Amino acid sequence: MKFALTKNNIADYGLAYFFEVCKDLVISKEYIETLYRVIIKLARAKLRPLQTVPEMPEPDDEGNEPSEEAKAAAQKKIDDVTKLNQEAEKINDEITRL
C-alpha cells in the first residue's frame, strides 16, 4: 500500500494533489488509505451485463395453446429477468456517472 501511494505511482494530478493536501492537513493515514481503496474499487468496477428476456410460449404446430401453468411460469421468468435487468441498469448508471 505504501508503494501505491508514492508520487511515481499516482498518475492523476488531482489525486496526487489531494493526497499531498491530506498530508498537510494532518488527516489520518488510515483515512487516506481507505479513500484510496474506494477510488480504486470505483475505477475497477465493471458494468453488469443485461440478460435476454424470454418470450411467452406460442401455440404449437397443431394450434394447441400452451397450458396456463406454462404461461404463468413463462411470465414469472419474464418478470424476474426484467427486474434483474432494471437493477443492473441502475447499477450501470451509477458506475457510469462516477
Tell me how many degrees the CA angle 53-58-59 measures, rounded to the nearest 5: 170
| CA–CA dist 48, 92 (Å, integer) | 6
Tens of pLDDT along 21-61?
766 676 777 777 787 788 778 777 788 888 888 888 777 77
For the segment 58-77, the average pLDDT, to the nearest whole number, is 81
Q: Where does the pLDDT of residue 82 fall: very low under 50, low under 70, confident under 90, or very high at 90 and above?
A: very high
| CA–CA dist 10, 89 (Å, integer) | 31
Residue by residue, DSSP assigns 29-75 as HHHHHHHHHHHHHHHH--PPPPPPPPPPP---TT-PPPPHHHHHHHH
Cell matching residue 95: 458506475
Return left, alpha or beta for 22; rule: phi > 0 is left, psi -120 to 50 is alpha, else beta.
Answer: alpha
| CA–CA dist 25, 20 (Å, integer) | 9
Predicted TM-score (pTM) of this structure: 0.52
